[in-house]
Structure 1
Amino acid sequence: MDKYFMGIDNGGTITKAAIYTSAGKEIGLATRKTKMIMPQPYHTEKNMEELWKANISVIKEAIRISKIKVEQIAGVSITGHGNGIYLSNKYGEPVYNGIVSTDNRAKHYIENWYSDARFEKEILPKTMQSIWAGQPVALLAWLKDNHPKVIEETDYIFMVKDYIRFKLTGKAYLELTDISGTNLLNVRDRCYDKELLAFFGLEDILPKLPPLKESTDLCGYITKEAANVTGLKEGTPVAGGLFDIAASAIASGLITDKELCIVAGTWSINEFITKTPIIDRELFMTSIYCLPEYWLVTEASPTSASNLEWFIDNFMVQEKLNAKENGVPIYDICNEMVKNTTPEESDLLFFPFLFGSNTVPNANSCFIGMNSWHKKEHLVRAVYEGIVFGHIYHIERLLQYRDKLEKTRIAGGVTKSNVWLQMFADCLQIPLEIVEVNEHGTLGTVMCAAVMTGNYHSIKEAADKMIKIESTIYPTKENSRIYKVKYMNYKKTLKRMEEVWKVGVY
């Protein structure tokens, strides 16, 4: 029988399952939106039972759509949003809502840790990354102070993909690429470190951290219980999987240090790989990559397409209804609205800080420059542009550590929008290569299953065989000049707003 592989992706807002051939061709895809719970300002959570049901639903649907026998699925692998935290007892029952990486409740812990002289001298060389509010260290510290019983009842501390893998296999593990982005791990030595955890006041959580596994390691088999509810075959092997930023990077063909990858999803992810780890307190993160000899260098913040989702949900209710009635995606309507405007006709700025920012202290989201002449399409364009400018802001920081770019690759929901892709190319003023893939996260993580089962010898070989460049988008000269001016205006205004955000506007 032909071999197929299933990839599962639990993002900040969408859960997906896709089935691929060994050549990387997608034959079945199912998606389901999961509700973001915001019980208080700066809190972003998921109901973990609902999340598990969403995974069951998309697995069953992907199998149905693919029209293959479940016996042909040779392996399963999972990815998901990094950071946040998912706490479980030993039976797989949640002890608290899952917390998503956009959560900002623990931001007050960060300043204290940074002001400690030990951070730069002792901690940063081990973790190779900044500290921010949506990371497990901050969230666990907050829970320890505010809900100590939750910590007591916790048997396992998981990332989202590791929790779903536990539900499928009954085996508790944390996978290296994912946990290396959390400050819970000594990244330099690839191990847990009691002294590191003690810096954050978390040394007592060490027994709750499951054993570590590599991306392509066998991490258990589909249990009878999981098989009964998902339709997967009992005994199907499950791989370690990947941090979503690594999954999107490898699915974009990031296998040398010559390219840069942009992921425009819930988060603004901008990354390249290197054989020499970069350690700098101003850098967002250096983490473990799925290619043995490489590190993944990342600049990121929760400032990407999640801002568009918020705008659509709050200000395009009628458009959403119209789209549903006409059987078209709401994003097609957004794209059309942007196409009906030009970059030079409005100076309206949008700062994409709805979920905070780890580069601009105390930042909030806002429109600046609005007047009575502006229409809704100008606001949508400003959101598109603001998100792109947020990516460029990160890329400029990355360019301190590497040679100038000649081209880049892009992943995430933005790849379904030609008008947005052109905007990225025009603003970056370099060509964008688009990979022939619908879902980067599921394809990237599927490579782990293909290696685990012996279909390929390495992730690099899997990437070589499963990835193809679909097209290249080149910047337009005139728009590039206009966007260069607009981006400079964005940066100047951002600098002025820092003082406003610092003192507060209320």
Structure 2
Amino acid sequence: MQYLIGVDLGTTATKAVLFEKSGKIIASSSQAYTLYRDASGMAEEVLEDIFEAVLITIREVSINLEEADELLAVSFSTQMHSLIAFDKDWKPLSRVMTWADTRAVKYTEQLKESGKGFEIYKRTGTPLHPMAPLSKLLWLRAERPEIYKQASHYLELKGYIFYRLFGTNKIDLSTASGTGIFNIFELKWDEEALQLTGVNQNQLPQVVEPYEIEENMPHEFAKKMGIQSNTKFVWGAADGPLSNLGVNAIKPGVAAITIGTSGAIRVVTDRPRTDEKGRTFTYALDKNHWVVGGPVNSGGDVFRWARDQIFDSKLSFDEVTELASKIPPGSDGLLFHPYLGGERAPLWDANARGSFFGLNYGHNRSHMVRSVLEGVMFNLYMVALSLVEVVGDLNMIQATGGFTASPLWTQILADIFEQPINVPESREAGCLAAVVMAEKALGLIDSLSVVDNMVGSNQTYQPNSETFEIYREITPIFIRLSRSLSSEYENISNFQRRFEENK
């Protein structure tokens, strides 16, 4: 038998999945690690924790291979927007600064106000936000000059994993397209963005196709993974674009909605497209497939907060959802803006903060939880409205992520969007997509459309017309309120930061 392994370098865990060539899942393994946060907006990870997680998870799925079996390749999906600095001897000068790190908010705002930022966005496709390595580099220069001056090399997370395994200094096109310093139209590092950061091209990795293959890793690592040293490792792509491929949302007008820790809505086009209002991103899957969409910070983490803080962490998510299901659509006029940790799309404001609006004596904790579930979906709908302006109507929605385990939450999505929501059979979209790219890299397939035969439909949620009028009335209130509160987000977040610092 012939097999492939897909590896997903996630924000809170690395997962490896062993697939048959047909796409059938044989085994999976997940290894969690800590995302270190503090009141300053820091959100970092330890490099060695993630590297060890890669070794462990591949080992735990490869033990299912028989001696006569053939492991064709290992391919990767990775979290986007990470940044790591190294000195001239490749010693790490920092931990992994993840997409969730917001310490660069001040320098992002300065870039927006300078007038240069929007022109850079139009060339790079990455919205101006502290998540982007563009902003992180500006922050490093101003706030961590001791690191900035010593830095001879910069990599992202997957680039580091490949550096450790193969001694490479590369980045795949897909991940590069999310840095904010890569020109997606000329397919090279953007000169003006580099001048702005003071970084030169010699400090940056070589950009390669997602189909690039590495071989012949040191025996010690191969032994720890339980595989052969000559096993082919395919670079793969970034997790956002791969999610579309993994749920079979690569045709025009087919949107992929993902909600895990965070969330996103994305559509594939045949060329890069930027938004005249700067609201959407454009990232590469490969040179012929470009993913346009918007990511949200507000996803499963917000639901977890609601369970832990409004109810009791001893309650299961199903128990909390059951309480919310007893509340009517619209939560009897209670709205929740889910911006607990700032927001990317549609606001692109790291200072944004959450709020309940409309509370009265008739509301209880169950109302609050239902309004949290609805608030995440109202926010995603705002992103969808922006996306339609850029790419046209959404004809089909493929949904994936932990939220699809909740029939109530998925039904709320269908009712707010007034569209059927299809939940694909595979729940390992990122790893499956990485494997499909590996098959193309190996010449086993000619087109990514083979995913049609690998992704079935698990369930389709039909919108309930009885709720349309309710959501049509309350959604505009949610949108108008988010705009009116935006003028005070910076003031309240500055107050909160000072309060935390003085504790």
Whether the TM-score (by the shorter chain) exceeds 0.5 is: yes
Aligned pairs, number: 491
Paired amino acid for 1:349: L
Question: Structure 1 residues 405, 201: CA separation in 2 closer, same or farther (over 3 Å shift)?
Answer: closer
Q: Quick check: 1:192 aligned with 2:189? A: yes
Contact 2:209-2:286 within 8 A present in 1 as well: no
In structure 2, the residue matched to 1:473 is: 461
Residue 201 (structure 1) aligns with: 197
Q: In the superposition, relative to structure 1, how do residues 233 and 336 fare at CA in structure 2: closer, same or farther (>3 Å)?
A: farther
Spell out the pairing of 1:97-112 with structure 2 (5 A cutoff): 97-112=95-110
Q: Distance in 2 between the 1:91 and 1:374 partners?
A: 60
Change (3 A) 1:448 1:500: same
2:436 is equivalent to residue 447 of structure 1? yes
Contact 2:257 2:398 in 1 (8 A): yes
CA–CA distance in 1 between the matches of 2:309 and 2:78?
26
Tell me, yes or no, if the aligned pair for 1:92 and 1:167 is still in contact at 8 Å.
no
The AA in structure 2 aligned to 1:196 is A
- SS of match in other structure, 1:278: coil
Kept in 1: contact 2:174–2:286 (CA 8 A):
no
Q: Measured at CA, do residues 406 and 188 of structure 1 come closer, stay the same or move farther in structure 2, by a change above 3 Å?
A: closer
Q: Percent same amino acid among aligned pairs? A: 23
Structure 2 match to 1:325? none
Q: Which AA in structure 1 matches 2:70? A: Q
- How far apart in 1 are the matches of 2:62 and 2:412? 36
Distance 1:414 1:477 in 2: 22
TM-superposed deviation, 1:374: 4.1
Query: Structure 1 residues 288, 366: CA separation in 2 closer, same or farther (over 3 Å shift)?
Result: closer
Other-structure match for 1:14: 13
Describe the shift of the 1:196–1:11 C-alpha distance in structure 2 as closer, same or farther (beyond 3 A): same
The whole-number CA distance in structure 2 between the counterparts of 1:456 and 1:305 is 35
Change over 3 Å in CA distance of 1:291–1:214 after alignment to 2:
closer
Q: Indicate the SS of the match to 1:493.
A: helix
CA distance in 2, matches of 1:377, 1:317: 12
Residue 417 of structure 1 is matched in structure 2 by 406
Following TM superposition, by how much is the alpha carbon of 1:345 offset from its aligned partner in structure 2, in angstroms? Answer: 4.6
- Counting only pairs closer than 5 Å after superposition, residues 417-436 of structure 1 correspond to structure 2 as 417-436=406-425
For residues 450-506 of structure 1, the C-alpha deviation after alignment (integer angstroms, 9 at most, x for no partner) is 222222223333x23322233322101112332333322312322332233254385
Task: Kindly indicate whether the alpha-carbon contact (under 8 Å) linking 2:6 and 2:435 is maintained by their aligned counterparts in 1.
Answer: yes
Shift of 1:437: 0.4
1:388 to partner: Cα distance: 0.9
1:490 aligns with 2:478: yes
Q: Which piece of structure 1 moves more, 77-86 or 238-247?
A: 77-86
Cross-structure match for 1:56: 55
Q: Is the 8 A contact 1:406 1:431 kept in 2?
A: no
Aligned: 1:233 with 2:228? yes
How big is the shift at 1:218? 0.8
1:41 corresponds to: 40
In the alignment, which residue of structure 2 is the partner of 1:86? Answer: 84
What is the one-letter code of the residue matched to 1:235?
N
Per the normalisation by structure 1, the TM-score is: 0.89
Closer, same or farther in 2 for the Cα pair 1:497/1:468, shift >3 Å? same
Match of 1:352 in 2: 338
Matched to 1:201, the amino acid is: T
Q: CA deviation at 1:248?
A: 0.3
Give CA-to-partner distance per residue, 1:268-315, whole Å, 9 cap, x none: 311112234323342344434335433221222322223224444555
* Corresponding residue number in structure 2 for 1:25: 24
Contact 2:126 2:132 (C-alpha < 8 Å) held by counterparts: no
Q: Secondary structure at the match of 2:188?
A: coil
Distance 1:119 1:492, change over 3 A: closer
Q: After superposition, what is the alpha-carbon deviation per residue over 1:396-435, rounded to whole angstroms, capped at 9, x for unaligned?
A: 1111123332321112222222221111111110011221
Per the alignment, do residues 161 and 333 of structure 1 end up closer, same or farther by CA in structure 2, a change over 3 Å counting? Answer: farther
1:107 to partner: Cα distance: 0.9
Task: State the match for 2:498 in structure 1.
Answer: none
Partner letter of residue 142 of structure 1? W
Mark the CA change 1:230 to 1:311 in structure 2 (over 3 Å): closer, same or farther: farther
SS of the residue aligned with 1:189?
coil
**For residue 114 of structure 2, what is the aligned residue in structure 1?**
116
Deviation, structure 1 residue 82: 0.8
Q: For residue 253 of structure 2, what is the aligned residue in structure 1?
A: 258
Q: Contact conserved, 1:429 with 1:480, CA < 8 A, in 2? A: yes
Is 1:213 aligned to residue 208 of structure 2? yes
Corresponding residue SS for 1:132:
coil
User: Offset of 1:203 from its aligned partner?
Assistant: 2.9
For residue 329 of structure 2, what is the aligned residue in structure 1? Answer: 343
Unpaired runs of at least 5, structure 2: 496-503
Q: Is the 8 A contact 1:291 1:460 kept in 2?
A: no
Q: 2:357 aligns with which of 352, 368, 374?
A: 368
Distance 2:88 2:436 in 1: 29
Task: Output the CA distance in 2 between the equivalents of 1:273 and 1:471.
Answer: 23
> In structure 2, what is the equivalent of residue 177 of structure 1?
174
Give the distance between the partners of 1:465 and 1:15, measured in 2 at CA.
26
Q: For residue 213 of structure 1, what is the amino acid of its counterpart?
A: V
Structure 1 counterpart SS, 2:419: coil
Query: How far has the Cα of 1:142 moved from its partner?
Result: 0.9
Deviation digits for residues 163-211 of structure 1, max 9, x if unmatched? 223333332310001110111211111112333310x22334x222111
2:4 aligns with 5
Tell me the equivalent position of 1:460.
449
Q: Distance in 1 between matches of 2:429 and 2:313?
A: 31
- Structure 1 residues 84 and 218: alpha-carbon distance in aligned structure 2, compared to 1, 3 A threshold: same
For 1:351, the aligned partner's letter is: H
Q: Distance in 2 between matches of 1:55 and 1:310?
A: 29
SS of equivalent residue, structure 1 residue 497: helix
Give, in whole Å, the separation in 2 of the partners of 1:69 and 1:427.
52
Cα gap change, 1:467 to 1:90, in 2 (>3 Å): farther
Structure 1 residues 399 and 425 mapped into 2: Cα distance closer, same or farther (>3 Å)? Answer: same
Unpaired runs of 5+ residues, structure 1, are: 321-329
The code of the aligned residue for 1:380 comes to: V
1:271 paired with 2:266, answer yes
Structure 1 range deviating more: 470-479 or 213-222: 213-222
Please give the alpha-carbon distance, in whole angstroms, between the structure 1 residues aligned to 2:137 and 2:170.
18
For the Cα contact (< 8 Å) 1:260–1:272, is it kept in 2? yes
Aligned residue for 2:37, secondary structure, equals coil
Q: Partners of 2:368 and 2:420 in 1: how far apart?
A: 26
